[in-house]
Amino acid sequence: MADKPGKKTARSHAATVKAAVQEQVKGKPGISLRLKLVVFLGIVSFALYANSLKNGYALDDVTAITFNALVQKGISAVPELLHTPYHWGFKLITNDLYRPLSLVMFAVEYQFFGPNPAPGHMMNILLFAGCVVLLFLFLDALFEQKKTAAAFIAALLFALHPIHTEVVDNIKSRDELLCFFFAFLSLVMYLKYIKSGKPAQIITGSFCFFLSLLSKETAITFLAVIPLVFFFYQNENRKRSVFITLCAAGAAIVFLAIRFSVLSVYHANHFFENYFIKNELAQPGLPFESRIATAILMLGHYLRLLFVPYPLICDYSYNTIPFAHFSDPAVLLSLAAYLFLAFLGVKRILKNSKDPYAFGIFFFLVTISLFSNIPFLTGTTMGERLLFFPSVGFCMVAAFLIEMLAGRSVESVQAVLKTPKVLWIIFPVCIIYSGITINRNSDWQNDLTLFSADVKKAPGNCRLNFFIGDIMLNSLSTENDLTKLTKGVHDVIPYLTNSVVIYDGYATAHYDLGTSYFTLDQFDSAEIHYKKAIECDQTDINFFLQLGRVYFVEKKYQQSVDINKRALVLKPDFTTVIANIGFSYLNAGNYDSAICYLNKVAFAEPGFNGINEMLANAWKAKGDLDSARKYEANAHRSSP
């Protein structure tokens, strides 16, 4: 029986729809594959750092979270965090940094979770996974899905690379993660705009770039990356490329205007953060060429760490990498490597404006330039976290080279990734990098585990020696067993001694040494180091107080009075210092002066511990028993 015309038409239409759907399905495997790659990258990123969830706070977390008074106010502090310098809640200084976004996140987390590091570590891991995914999406879009395999390999290498452990494991480095996340999100949105021309996309991209700048100033290098992307690799629409560049520049100008309104002066570098700053104790008569040579040497160390990420160290302060000269072969090798990269990048981009190798090289050179310490000094000498952006260029070039091993005839992503030559490279690298990363995460468990691990790798680092000594000394403050206390202090002294041998101007290390020797009743040595601490830093009142304490124990009462009077200049209303002066006068037999100072304490702080007993003793020594009895009665009434 023949079909009716209506049925034929319906069947014909159904067949057409079915064919169209099948055709669409055939066209979607790429999208589906990219989704699988995205999920895989996210899972790998999370799995690599899952063991860091049990870690506590470490290193710079003290400035951003654990001792940051503003952050600990929670959400109520957000308005103040937005218009104050970065360290305002930790230390009231005006010449500082402006990175409010990470602090705002910390305040919100503190509001809901309190002093619990686990949510902070979780957020860092999730953000890192987001960074890895965005890197893949950006590279895939940049090369118009023609190099998906290379984009995936680059993102995978970025996820696995152990150089990123500091950024992910140190909660404070949320600023790096947010900066990267929003910077690459802005690039992804700009790439969408260059294709579609939708205003919402360029507005979103510019806002993301602004958020990246609010996270950390590192994003300013994207003012060079953005033109590189849109005038060389995505240059089909020059008008939109110009518009993107102008919008990014506008976002940067708004950020800089806000930054300059918040900060009264430029960030003041400190010798302990960047030892290129002139310091006669550390490098007397250091010539300028030596500073430049050492900066070039450190750039070479960055390259080495990208190829061989070992040893990893949380602190590169003085004297991890000693000062060098242009006669040193390592300096010349580093200089040659960077000149070659610059030459190769220029040569390749002139030959082919869309050369992927050139993009990777220029991305690395542009983003590392900010931390070179050559045109200007930065806030730190060297740091592994500073490779977070530049490592993208390294991973890109490595990925393109690995993809090349598959041969030009192999085009599909699956075929590239299954090529034996590719697998022979990727698989061992994945195993080695994963092992180093997971093992390094355990070092970041807390300050003690971190510094104990790193001081072995950098015994010439003055701060690492001090850090481990200081932590060990503080841990002994509640020790009641005299034998254990004595042994513990003896274990501390070598680290602190190493610190001051490396850099004699380390005031806090001398102070800790003084405290160590005082604990051991070695008062002569304690006196030497407290004096040295004051010589190095005359602004810390604790140095004066402790030296006064040594003088008192040694019965050098007049010297105790003199040093406490110097402390009083720093803080005129500090009753503890005033009481120390009065008590020293009392023991020296100068009763009138003792009563004068002790009365000041009694007036300012009537409940000051033992003040009435001291006054009673002073009056009794003068022979005025009536006054003595009055203060004895006061002491009796104030006692519980």
Per-residue confidence (pLDDT) for residue 293, from 0 to 100: 94
pLDDT band at 268 (very low <50, low <70, confident <90, very high): low
Instruction: Find the angle CA(196)-CA(200)-CA(203) to the nearest 5 degrees.
Output: 115
Task: Write out pLDDT tens, residues 520-575.
Answer: 999 999 999 999 999 999 999 999 999 999 999 999 999 999 999 999 999 999 99
| Block residue for tokens 């507005």 | 203
Give DSSP secondary structure letters for 61-89.
HIIIIIT-TTGGGGGGGHHHHHTS-TTTT
pTM: 0.88
Task: Write out pLDDT tens, residues 320-368.
Answer: 999 999 999 999 999 999 999 999 999 999 999 889 999 999 999 999 9
Task: Write out pLDDT tens, residues 14-30.
Answer: 444 344 334 433 444 44
Per-residue confidence (pLDDT) for residue 1, from 0 to 100: 42
Task: Write out pLDDT tens, residues 214-228.
Answer: 999 999 999 999 999
Helix (H) or strand (E) holding 286: none
Q: Give 405 or 447, the one with higher predicted confidence.
A: 447
Tell me the range of 16-30, 185-199, 282-296 where mean pLDDT is highest: 185-199
Q: Contact, 102 vs 64, CB < 8 A?
A: yes
pLDDT at residue 39 tops 50: yes
Is the bond preceding residue 100 a cis peptide, omega within 30 degrees? Answer: no
Residue 53 corresponds to which tokens in the numbers above?
């969830």
Q: Report the distance separating Cα 517 and Cα 416, nearest Å.
A: 65
Q: Contact, 442 vs 51, CB < 8 A?
A: yes
Residues 6+ apart with CB under 8 A from 372: 295, 299
Q: Report the distance separating Cα 478 and Cα 492, nearest Å.
A: 15
Q: Contact, 413 vs 33, CB < 8 A?
A: yes
What is residue 321's DSSP assignment? S
Give DSSP secondary structure letters for 243-256.
HHHHHHHHHHHHHH
Q: Contact, 56 vs 91, CB < 8 A?
A: no
Quickly count: other Cβ atoms within 10 Å of residue 573's Cβ: 10
Residue 572 corresponds to which tokens in the numbers above?
């005129």
Query: What are the boundaries of each domain within the chain?
Result: 175-264
Per-residue confidence (pLDDT) for residue 409, from 0 to 100: 61
What is the average pLDDT across 172-196?
96
pLDDT at residue 91 tops 60: yes
pLDDT band at 606 (very low <50, low <70, confident <90, very high): confident
Q: How far is CA 620 from CA 215, 609, 628, 632, in A?
A: 65, 19, 5, 10
Residue 447 corresponds to which tokens in the numbers above?
């300050």
Q: Contact, 303 vs 163, CB < 8 A?
A: no
Quickly count: other Cβ atoms within 10 Å of residue 553's Cβ: 14
pLDDT at residue 477 tops 50: yes
Q: Report the distance separating Cα 451 and Cα 225, nearest Å.
A: 36
pLDDT band at 264 (very low <50, low <70, confident <90, very high): low
Residues 6+ apart with CB under 8 A from 382: 298, 301, 302, 316, 320, 321, 371
Q: Contact, 169 vs 55, CB < 8 A?
A: yes
Q: Which of 111-115, 292-296, 427-431, 611-615 has the lowest average pLDDT?
A: 611-615
pLDDT band at 93 (very low <50, low <70, confident <90, very high): low
Per-residue confidence (pLDDT) for residue 9, from 0 to 100: 44
Q: Residue 140 CA to chain centroid, in angstroms?
A: 30
* Most distant CA atoms of the chain, gap in Å: 136
Residues 6+ apart with CB under 8 A from 568: 574, 577, 578, 581
Handedness of CA 202, 203, 208, 209 (dihedral sign): positive
Per-residue confidence (pLDDT) for residue 585, from 0 to 100: 94
Is the bond preceding residue 580 a cis peptide, omega within 30 degrees? Answer: no
631: alpha, beta or left? (left if phi > 0; alpha if psi -120 to 50): alpha
Q: Contact, 553 vs 522, CB < 8 A?
A: no
Per-residue confidence (pLDDT) for residue 172, from 0 to 100: 96
Q: Give the CA-trace dihedral at 230, 236, 240, 243, to 10 degrees.
A: 40
Burial of 184 (C-beta count, 10 Å sphere; 0-12/13-18/19+): buried
Per-residue confidence (pLDDT) for residue 14, from 0 to 100: 41
Q: Report the distance separating Cα 188 and Cα 183, nearest Å.
A: 9
Residue type, 627: S
Q: Report the distance separating Cα 595 and Cα 134, nearest Å.
A: 71
Residues 6+ apart with CB under 8 A from 167: 124, 128, 173, 176, 177, 384, 385, 388
pLDDT at residue 640 tops 90: no
Per-residue confidence (pLDDT) for residue 280, from 0 to 100: 62
Q: Report the distance separating Cα 137 and Cα 185, nearest Å.
A: 9
Residues 6+ apart with CB under 8 A from 113: 119
Task: Write out pLDDT tens, residues 487-513.
Answer: 999 999 999 999 999 999 999 999 999
Per-residue confidence (pLDDT) for residue 551, from 0 to 100: 95
Per-residue confidence (pLDDT) for residue 5, from 0 to 100: 47
Q: How far is CA 626 from CA 26, 46, 180, 495, 540, in A?
A: 106, 76, 75, 55, 41
Using DSSP, state whether 293 is helix, strand or coil.
helix
What's the mean per-residue pLDDT of the chain? 89
Per-residue confidence (pLDDT) for residue 410, from 0 to 100: 64
Q: Contact, 463 vs 439, CB < 8 A?
A: no
Q: Which of 41-45, 263-267, 367-371 has the lowest average pLDDT?
A: 263-267
